[in-house]
Amino acid sequence: MRTRLQTWSLLVGATAVLALPMTSWAQLTQADFEPRLSMESHIGNITGHAKDAKGDYRRYCVVCHGENGDGNGESFPWVDPKPRDFQLGIFKCRSTPTGTLPTDQDLFDTIARGMDRSNMPQWSTFTKQERADLVAWVKHFSPRWVGEKPGTPITIPPEPEVTAERIKAGRDVFARVQCWKCHGVLGQANGPSASTLQDDLGRPIAAFNFTEGARPKCGDTDRDIYRIFMTGLDGTPMPSFADNIKPDEAWDLVFYLRTLMKQKSKEKQMAKQLGLKPVDPNAPAGQQ
Amino acid sequence: MSTSTRSGLSRISLSTSLPVVALVVVFLVLTASQTANALPAFARKYGLRCSACHESWPMLNYFGQKFKDNGYQLMNDRDAPIWQNPGYWPVTFRITPIWHRVSTGKVQVDTYTNGAPDGGQSIQRVTSSGFDLSGLDFHTAGTLEKNISFYLLPSSDSTGAFHFEQVFVRLDNIGGSPWLNLKLGRFELDNLLSEKRILTLTGNGGIYQTYHFIPVGDGNIFGQIGDNQLGFEYMGHSVNDRSRISAALISSSDGNVNLSTGANSYTGFFTGSQAFDTGKLGVQRIGFYAMYGEAATYYLTQGSVPLGGSGISNKGFSREGFVGQFYFGPHVDLTVVTQHGSDNPWFGQGYGNAIATDGNGGTTCTGVGCPPNNVPGSVLPVGSQSPTWNGYTFEGHYVYSPQLIFIGRYEAERMSQQANGPTSANPSASNLGNISTYTVGFRYNPFMTSRAGLAWHNEYNWLHQDGTGPTLGLGTVNLNTSELLMGLDFDF
C-alpha cells in the first residue's frame, strides 16, 4: 500500500512538474503558415531558414507583430505607429520600386536599423545568420513571397558635389512635387494635408518632421533619403516620386531636405549663407 | 517510519498526498495567473516582453545588456520620459514566497543529561524547513531625460528592514558617443555575469561564491565584486555593444554608507570584453576584469573601541579574472568566470574589518572576538604570507523556451597559498577554506507578457567547504550544507 501510494504520488508529481512547463511552446506554429516554413532568405553568402527563427521571433518580436505576423500582438493597442502586418507583404523600407516586394537585404537592414520614432528597436545584437533566419521567417507569413519575386532595386547614381545651386534647385523640386503639402514649408510636418493622412489600413499617420532631430525611418544617409522618396513608403501616403523627379533632381532634393533637418550639415550651413527662404506655396510654378 | 499501525499509515497517506496537493495548488495558481496585468517598469514603457531583454528574468540577454549599456534606452527616439503617458511610473516590485529546506551537516550543539546541561557538546546535522519569504525589492529606474538614466532600489530583508541596495544617476552617450557614459552612486560593478541578476535564490546558490570568496580568517571584505559598491564609473561600448570597456573608482567600503571606513582607501575595477558573431551558434563574448585596491587595517580607537571612518594604514589586495559567455545555438549557453585573488598578509591575519561592517551599513564590533585592529606596534606572526587563491564559476543554461529555463552551476574556490604558511607556528592545511558548490534548478514562467512576471522557481544547492566545520578538538572537519527551495518569484 505504502509503495503504491508513494509510487503513484511520485509519478503524478513528476508528470505534472515536467508536463506543465512543456506547454510553453504550444501555440507557436500556425497551420496556415506551415507550408511556407521552408522559406529561405539570401543575404550575401548567408542563407536564412524560416524554421530556425521561430525561437527568436517568439522571444523578441511576437509581442508587437503577433503570433500570426499580423501586427496584432499584445502591444498593438499601446504602440503608435502600429506594428507591421507581415501577412500583407507590404513594407515601407525598400530599395525596390513601389508596389514590389523588398529584397531580402532590405528586410535584413531594417531589422538591424530599427525604426526611429516607433517601438521597433535596433536589433543589431543578432548574428547575421539569426537576422537572415528572421528575414525568412517574416517572409513566410505572406503568400506574396511564394508567387512574386522582389522588385529590382532602383539605380542610384553617384552622389554629386553639393553646391548652392543644387540646394536652390532642390527647393524648387520640393515646391514642384508639393512635398510641403504634408511636410510643411519648413519641414515641420504641418502642411495643409498633414492632419488628414492615413495609412492603407485607414489609421492616422504623421508626416516626417524634419526639424525635430529624428532619423528618417528607412535610414539617414544621403542614399537612404534618396531611396525613400524615389521608392515611396508602401502602405503609407508617402508615394514614390520616381516618375516625377529625375535622378539628378533627386540629389538636389536630398541636399535641400538636409537644410530642413535639425542636425548640423554643410547643406544647412550653405543655405544659411545663401539666405535661402522656404518655399512659397502661392508662388507661380518655377518662380520660387 | 513504521507502516504497521493505523496512525503510521495515516501519516504516510498524508505525507504522500501532500506533494500531489501542492502540485495541484501550484498548477491552479499558475493557470489562474494568466490575467495578471500589473506593469514591470521597462516592459510596459516599451511594450516589449520580459524575454526581449532577459534570457530569463532577471538575467539579461545580449539585447538587454545593450539596452542597459545605452542607459535603459532603446535609442529609437522614444526614450525620454516625455513620450510616456503622464501616469507612467517606472516601478517594479519583486518578492518571492518560498518553501525551503536547509540542512547544515555539522553544527556544534550542547548536550544534556537528566534535563540539565552537562557541559558537553556534540556535533550533529541541523535541518530546518518551512514556508518563508524573500526580501522585497522595490526597483525604480529609467530615464530622467534623454541620455540621463537613474536607478533607485530600496531593498528589504525578509523582516522588512530596508536599505538602499542601488542608487545611481548615469549620464549616457555624452556628446552623442556610446563610448562615453558616466555613473555616480551605489551600483553593481560591471560584471558580465551579474550577481544582482542571478537566476538562483538559495542562501549559498543565490550568490556567486567566486565573487565573495574570503579565505578563512581573512579580514578583507572589500574585494567582493558581487556586492554593490559606492563610486564613480566610466563605461563605453560600440553601437552594437560588441565591444565594451569600463573603469570604476570605488570606495573600499564594500558599499557601506556614511564614510564608515577610511579617508584614503579606494579601489579600481576595470573590465573589457569583445563579442564575436559565430553564425548559428550565436554571439560569443570573452572578456576580463581586474580589481586593485587598498583598504585600512588600523582604525583609531576611543576607549579601545575602533572609530568608524578613521581607518588608515592601508594594505593592498587584487582580484583578476576572465569571463566567457558561450552560446551553442538557441537553447544552450555556458558562462565561465575565473578569478585569481590575493590579499596582503595583514588581511590574511584578520586585519581590515575592525569595525565589522556587514555590507549594508555595518555595526562596530565591541565585544569579544572582534576582528583585530592593526594598532601601532602590531606585528605579523612569523610565517605570515599573502593568502592567494583561484576561483572558477561555470554556469550553464538550457533555454527550452523563453518561458522555461534549466540552470546548472558549479563553482570551485581553491586556496593556492594560505595566510599561515609552512613556517608559521600553526600552519594551515593547504585546502583550508576550499569551496565546491553545485546548484541546479529551473524557472518556469507560465505566461510571458509585457505587464508582469511570475516564475515557478525550483532549486537545489549543495555546498562543501574544507576544514571549517566544528571540530571539538578532533582535527579539521569539512562542512556540507544543502538547501532545497521552491517558490513563486513574481514582479509587477
Using a CB-CB distance cutoff of 8 angstroms, which residues of chain A are in contact with residue B240?
A: 122, 124-125
* Assigned domain for A88 exists: yes
- A119–B63: do the CB atoms touch at under 8 Å? no
| Residues 31-70 (A) with a CB less than 8 A from some CB of B | 46, 52, 55-56, 58-60, 62-64
Per-residue pLDDT of chain B (492 residues; tens, 9 = 90+): 333 333 443 444 444 455 555 555 444 444 333 333 333 677 777 888 888 899 888 899 999 999 999 999 988 877 877 777 777 778 889 999 999 999 999 898 999 999 999 988 888 999 999 999 999 999 999 999 999 999 999 999 888 899 999 999 999 999 999 999 999 999 999 999 999 999 999 999 999 999 999 999 999 999 999 999 999 999 999 999 999 999 999 999 999 888 888 888 999 999 999 999 999 999 999 999 999 999 999 999 988 888 888 999 999 999 999 999 999 998 999 999 999 999 999 999 999 988 876 544 455 666 666 789 999 999 999 999 999 999 999 999 999 988 999 999 999 999 999 999 999 999 999 999 999 999 999 999 998 777 788 999 999 999 999 999 887 766 678 999 999 999 999 988
* Assigned domain for A20 exists: no
Q: DSSP states of A25-81 as a string?
A: GTT---TTTGGGTT-EEEETTEEEEGGGSHHHIIIIIHHHH-TTSSS--TTTTT-SS
Given this model, what pLDDT does residue B14 score? 44
Residue with cell 536630398: A254
Q: DSSP states of B115-174 as a string?
A: TEEEEEEEEEEEEEEEEEE---EEEEEEEEETTEEEEEEEEE-TT--EEEEEEEEEE-SG
- Domain final residue pick, A115, A147, A179: A147
* Assigned domain for A3 exists: no
Distance from chain centroid for Cα B84: 33
B439: alpha, beta or left? (left if phi > 0; alpha if psi -120 to 50): beta
> Does A177 share its domain with A223?
yes
Q: With contact defined as beta carbons under 8 Å apart, do A140 and B291 qualify? A: no
> Does A143 share its domain with A65?
yes
Residue B112 bridge partners (DSSP): B117
Output the domain CATH number for residue A91.
1.10.760
User: With the CA atoms of B118, B120, B122 and B128 taken in that order, what torsion angle do they form, in degrees rounded to the nearest 10?
Assistant: 50
**Grid cell for residue B401:** 523556451
CB-CB neighbours of A4 under 10 Å = 9
**Grid cell for residue A217:** 525611418
Q: Is the dihedral of CA B50, B51, B55, B56 positive or negative?
A: positive
CB-CB neighbours of B276 under 10 Å = 12
* Assigned domain for A15 exists: no
Using a CB-CB distance cutoff of 8 angstroms, which residues of chain B are in contact with residue A16?
A: 23-24, 27
Identify the CA nearest to B202 among candidates B469, B411, B462, B464: B462
Q: Give the chain B residue whose CA is nearest to the CA of A46.
A: B279
> Does A135 share its domain with A187?
no
> Does A87 share its domain with A171?
no
> What's the number of domains chain A is made of?
2
pTM over 0.90: no
* Assigned domain for A179 exists: yes
- Domain final residue pick, A114, A147, A180: A147
pLDDT tens digits, B284-317? 999 999 999 999 999 999 888 888 889 999 999 9
* Assigned domain for A103 exists: yes
Q: With contact defined as beta carbons under 8 Å apart, do B318 and B268 qualify? A: no
Output the domain CATH number for residue A208.
1.10.760.10
| Residues 1-20 (A) with a CB less than 8 A from some CB of B | 1-2, 5-6, 9-10, 12-13, 16-17, 20
Going by their DSSP bridges, the two strands B162-171 and B148-156 should be labelled as antiparallel
Q: Which CATH fold topology does B37-491 show?
A: Porin (2.40.160)
Backbone φ and ψ for A279, nearest 5 degrees, come out as: -65, 150
Q: Give the chain B residue whose CA is nearest to the CA of A76.
A: B47
Distance from CA of B128 to the nearest CA of A (A): 23
- B16–A20: do the CB atoms touch at under 8 Å? no
Residue to substitute from B6, B23, B53, B61, interface A, most A β-carbons within 10 A: B23
For residue A191, the enclosing domain spans 164-274
